[in-house]
Structure formats: C-alpha cells, structure tokens
Amino acid sequence: MKNTDDLLLYGYEFKMGKYFSDGWDLFKKGAGNYIGFTIVFFLMVMMLVFIPFVNMIVTAIEYVLIAGIFIYTRNLTKGKGEFANFFEGFKDFVPILLFTLTLLALMIPAIMIFFFYLVPEGFINEMMNGYSDPEYIVEEFMAMFEGNVGSIIFLYLVIMLYIMYLYISYSFTLLNIVDRKMKFWDAMELSRKVVAKNFLSFFVMYLIMVLLIPLAVIATCGLGFLVAFPYTYTVIFAAYDDIMGTDEEGNIETVEIISES
C-alpha cells in the first residue's frame, strides 16, 4: 500500500503513456455503456436547459453525471460495472454542487476582469439607459480593438491559462468525492496538492487531449465524440487510480491531508 504522506511530500512518477493506454483499455471494456451514456448525457443536458430553475444548476448536474462516469469506471475495474452506476453521482449531489459553485466563484473574477477590460468606456451605462443602436455597438467595439489587439489577446490567454490551471488542479476532486467520500473542500485541496507535484505533466496530458481529440472528432464527422468524451474521463480515472492508488485487495486508501502545500 502506498504511503499517502510520502505521496504528498515527495511526489510520484507520472506515467502519461500508461494513463492513455489504461484509459483506452477501460473504454473498450465498457464501450457500449460509455457510448450509450454519452448520448443520454447530452440529451439530458439539452432538456434540463429549458426547465425553469433547474437550468440554473445545469453545470452542477453535468458534474454529477461526469462523477457517474467515474463511479461506473471504478465498478468496471471490479468486474461489476452496470449502466445504473452512471447516475449514482446524485447520491453525492450536495458536495458536488458545492464544488461546482466554488469552482465558478474562483473563475468569475478573471472573467469579470476580461469583460470590463473589453467593454468600451461608458458602454454599459449607455446600454442601461436603453441605447442599443447596432451601428453604435459595432463602431465602439471596432474602435476599442484598433491598436489594442495584442493586449486583448495577451489578457485572454492569461485568463484561459488561469481557468486551465483551475480545471487541471481540481482534476481529482469528483473522484475524491465519490470514490473516497470526502467533503468537497477536502477533496479539492487533496486534488490540488497531488496535481501540483507534477502539474506540468498534467498540463501536457490535458493539452494532448485538447488538441488531438477534436481532430479525431472532425475526422469521423462528429461520431468520434461518442468515444472521445468518455475516453477523456477514463484517462483521468487511470491517472487517479495509479497515483492515488488502491491496496493489494483493491480497497481505496484513506488520505490525511497535510497542511503543507
């Protein structure tokens, strides 16, 4: 059994090739269920968007359903994966909702900075006063871009990198919640601290998925998305399972979060 204190203090070996390979093996093992759930996932999300009040927490429901992918995958490794596993994330809806809200709260400041930098001076006040001439809007934004494109692109890239940092750092949060039954904040902190030990390697892994998976989808006229979507999460699961680990009998290790970052 791995020593989790050593994991957080001294790091671990990051085996990117293994994670892509193991993720693919996991996908192939439950391909029919993964593809079927992907179809159900997007049908559910599209319907929920139009339901009053429910549409306000669609992102949280998406995370609950993604957590279901991890639950199914865990059961698949034990030889007992069932389609119903995909919906068991709802048992942990509250901590997943709190995680979702916290993640959004961390993103909002960066998005607001970009928004207020991008919007021409006085534009919001005029819009609030009912001034909505389309030609005026176009002229104002064109004037704002003139001689300012470089700084806008730079700010955009900085904000995108910040958002990527958040997503990557909290890669294992859902797994910590549904696999280890941790409280949402402890799950976030453990994920952040573990990922930080090899953040650049995680970044490269995500970059490969971001670049190559869309190409595969385009090459298959969109049908590849039914494979690419669940495969992304089986890769993340494979990384989690290797790094955070189970013991020889397949039991999940308990983790004590140390205060040192």
Residue-wise pLDDT for 45-61, tens only, equals 999 888 877 777 899 99
Q: Is 258 within a domain?
A: no
pTM of the predicted protein model = 0.84
Number of domains within the chain: 1
Q: Is 246 helix (H, G, I), strand (E, B) or coil?
A: strand
Closest among 122, 153, 157 to 140, alpha carbons compared: 122
Q: Is 175 within a domain?
A: yes
First CA to last CA distance, the chain: 23
Closest among 249, 238, 244, 171 to 19, alpha carbons compared: 238
Q: Is 257 within a domain?
A: no
Q: Is 158 within a domain?
A: yes
CB atoms within 10 A of CB 110: 17
Q: Is 184 within a domain?
A: yes
Q: Is 251 within a domain?
A: no
Q: Is 194 within a domain?
A: yes
Q: Is 59 within a domain?
A: yes
pLDDT digits (tens, 9 = 90+) for 155-198: 889 899 999 999 999 999 999 999 999 999 999 999 999 999 99
The tokens 């970059």 sit on which residue? 207
Name beta bridge partners: 252. 246
Domain that holds residue 68: 4-243
User: Dihedral angle at the C-alpha atoms of 211, 213, 214, 215, nearest 10 degrees?
Assistant: 80
Distance between CA atoms of residues 98 and 67, nearest Å: 14
